[in-house]
Amino acid sequence: MTKDRTAYPSETADKYVVRFPDGMRDMIAAAAKRNQRTMNAEIVSRLAASFASGAPEQPGQDTTGGLYARVLALEKLAPLLEKMAPTLAALERMKPALEAAERFKLPPDLDQKLQAMQAFNAKLKR
């Protein structure tokens, strides 16, 4: 004998299978984890936000300004930057000694480059 029960909303909701480009599923999973929700909730939230923004729809045009491609490229860089973090820290520690050596001339923008790399690395860790 089976019990009659009320179906859960997720059982009666419309369903649609989506094929993601390479890497997008991982991006969605990471965003969902950061936002402490399921992948489905992340996708629905982002779709709802895109419709609520009122941005005009233009078929065939990348409305993100190439953001997706840039995010993928940055995500590929993240492991490399994490590997570079100890090297950047070592360079920072060595800088005073290197500056003291008369024969070793540091580029004038070294501080700026080190700070930019450290800030970028910190952003990736958030």
Q: What is the pLDDT along the chain (126 residues), one digit of tens a residue?
A: 566 788 888 788 888 898 888 888 998 999 999 989 999 999 988 888 877 776 666 666 666 667 777 777 777 787 888 888 888 888 888 878 777 776 666 677 777 877 887 787 777 766
Terminal alpha carbon distance of the chain:
52
Tokens of 116: 């930019």
Q: Where are the beta strands (DSSP E) in 3-79?
A: none
pLDDT at position 32? 92
**Which residue reads 């993100």 in tokens?**
64
pLDDT at position 37? 92
